[in-house]
Amino acid sequence: MRFAHVDTWVFDLDNTLYPPSSDLWPKIDQRITLFMAHMFGLDGLSSRALQKYYYQRYGTTLRGLMEEHAISSDEFLQFVHDIDRSSLVPNHTLAQAITQLPGRKLILTNGSREHALRTAERLGIHDMFEDIFDIVAADLVPKPAAETYQRFFDRHAVDPARAAMFEDISHNLAVPHARGMVTTLVIPKLGADDHREPWEIAGAHEPHVEFVTNDLESFLTGLGREA
């Protein structure tokens, strides 16, 4: 019943629409490290440490590089998302579950639009979404910044009081919950690999997390059936 009023369904992309056990995020992560190694002439360990510092402080490594080194976002986004996605296979169960949800479906990601499109195509779910709001549409200000969500609401005429948000990082649900969205944290299946940082994994019991699921397909199927 908590979802009965929802007419807009908003999904994060990475580690949400595909599981954290996938090899996609590690590939992107490695490309970011490589970009920074080339940029600063650092060894791999030093580059990775700096990368994670920027990521945790600014929300994305890109934002840190822009704030402190004024780099080109286009070059960075193109380089780090140039990965092999062949490990992803179409997820027909997820596609059907998303299709059955009543109302609009949107992707809200800190990644690039091209990355989101190519990844959704590999999963066989790209046709289910009305649009993608990416880091460029956010004026390169990443989640969890409040102004990014407001920009998303304004651009797509989303009433947060009638919307639901699905995310794999707890603190990215704080602002959506405060604005009235129904929030669901997506976590790995029991025993599955999880390539995220420890601070990204924490927070399942925070008050801004209303629901937790380790099976997004079944969770959405249940919501569609109730609707």
* Span 160-186, pLDDT tens digits: 999 999 999 999 999 999 999 999 999
User: Which tokens sit at 75?
Assistant: 């070059």
pLDDT at 196: 75
Question: b/e map of 153-191 (b: 16 or more CB within 10 Å)?
Answer: beebebebeebbbbbbbbbbbbbbbebebbbbbbbbeee
142: which 2 tokens? 């990443």
Residues 27 and 32: their CA atoms lie apart, in Å, by: 9
My answer on whether omega of the bond before 142 falls inside 30° of 0, hence cis, is no
**Is the confidence at residue 199, as pLDDT, over 80?**
no
- In the chain the domains, ranked by start, together with CATH numbers, are 8-20+89-226 (3.40.50.1000), 24-80 (1.10.150.450)
Backbone φ and ψ for 144, nearest 5 degrees, come out as: -100, 25
Q: Which residues contact 171 (CB under 8 A, 6 or more apart)?
A: 144, 203, 206
- The sign of the dihedral angle between the CA atoms of 219, 221, 222, 224 is positive
pLDDT of residue 72: 85
* Two tokens, residue 110: 């800190």
Summarize the confidence of residues 138-156 as an average pLDDT.
96
**Helices vs. strands in the chain: H and E counts, helices first:** 10, 6
Beta bridge partners of 212: 185
The whole-number pLDDT of residue 201 equals 77
Q: In this predicted model, what pLDDT tens digit does every residue of 114-144 receive, in sequence order?
A: 999 999 999 999 999 999 999 999 999 999 9
For the chain, the helix, strand and coil percentages under 3-state DSSP, each to the nearest 5: 50, 10, 40
Nearest CA-CA partner of 152 in 8, 32, 4, 3: 8
Q: Please state whether the predicted TM-score (pTM) of the whole model is above 0.95.
A: no
Over residues 23-36, the mean pLDDT reads 93
Average pLDDT on 178-195 reads 89
